[in-house]
Structure 1
């Protein structure tokens, strides 16, 4: 929490706003990891999700939450994301995050299969304790669209403190060996500035580069 204390005055300023959220949409460039995925029989979405969530955990500013009126730093969060079930209705996949790529992908695929097969909404936060509700990151992907912007449904802006990330379809292969994807990052501005979103983008790209060697 030492790092947070350096910006507590910024948090206090933005926390007084009716809507303290910042939402940035940008084009993310990363090394094209899809040939690696094909060679290793790994689904690209789940590998990218691995890069996103494990990079997010490394940046303190995305780990701050408000619990019982006080700012805390969570030590980890659930891995979760939206899927479509067999009726083409929204559902939620949820699993324990792992820093091991293959373990992460295996857990993600298992969670996806369960969420897709359920015709009722599963893995909502209603059954979680108030603290566990804070141990969360919201993820959605729309692979059919080139994302330009997004507005997330938010119950109450003033008390919203969970980062929400979204992205659209990956670009076609590029001559420079990279792919691009339009991404949106929403977070509490008392915790996160544009600079921290920049750090996240750099961390995702670096992790993808490390994976493919």
Structure 2
């Protein structure tokens, strides 16, 4: 929490707002990991999700939460994201994070299949206590659309503390070996500035590059 104390005055300022959220959409450029995934028989969405979530975990500002009126820093969070079920309706996949890439992907694929197979809305966090509900990141992907912006549904703006990320369709293959997509990041401005979104974009690209080079 030492890093948070350096910006507590910023948090206090934005916490007084009726809507303290910042929502940025930007073009993310990363190494085109699709050929790598094809070569290593890895599903590209789950590969990308692994690097997004671990990049978030490595930046303190995305780990701050509001619990019982106080700011805390969580150590870990659930891996979760939206899927479309057999009725073409929204559902939620959720599983326990792991640092091992292949194990992460196996858990992610299994949780997606479970959420896709049921007509009931599952993994809504209603089974978790208030602290466990803070251990979350909201992720949605819309691969059918070239995303330009998004506004997430918010139950109560003032108490909102969980970052929400969304991205859309990947670009076609590029001559420079890069892949681009629009990503949107929404978070409490008391925790996150535009600079921290920049850090996240850098971290995602670096992690993907390192995995492909290993």
Query: What is the TM-score when the length of structure 2 is the normalising length?
Result: 0.99
**Secondary structure, counterpart of 1:179 in structure 2:** strand
Question: 1:126 deviation in Å?
Answer: 1.2
State the partner residue of 2:34. 34
State the 1:211 CA deviation: 1.2
Aligned counterparts, 1:4-153, within 5 A: 4-153=4-153
Q: Where does the alignment leave 5 or more consecutive residues of structure 2 unmatched?
A: none
SS of 1:24's equivalent in the other structure is strand
Separation in structure 2 between the aligned mates of residue 76 and residue 6 of structure 1, nearest angstrom: 22
* Structure 1 equivalent of residue 183 of structure 2: 183
- Cα distance per residue 1:68-97 (max 9 Å; x no partner): 000000000000000000000000000011
CA drift of 1:33 comes to 0.6
- Partners of 1:178 and 1:212 lie apart in 2 by 13
Aligned to 1:2: 2
Q: CA RMSD in A?
A: 0.4
Distance of 2:24 and 2:99 partners within structure 1:
26
Deviating runs (4+, > 6 A) in structure 1?
Answer: none
Q: Aligned equivalents of 2:51 and 2:145: distance in 1? A: 21
Q: Unaligned stretches of 5+ in structure 1?
A: none
- 1:67 deviates by 0.2
Partner Cα distance (1:211, 1:45) in 2: 15
Deviation string, structure 1 residues 83-126 (Cα, Å, up to 9, x no partner) = 00000000000001111110110000000000000100000011
CA deviation string 1:6-63 (max 9, x = no partner): 0000000000000000000000000001001000111110000001000000000000
Tell me what 1:211 maps to: 211
* Whole-Å separation in 2 of the counterparts to 1:76 and 1:140: 19
Distance 1:20 1:40 in 2: 43
Q: Would you say 1:196 and 2:196 are equivalent positions? A: yes
Equivalent position SS for 2:158: helix
SS in 2 for 1:187: strand
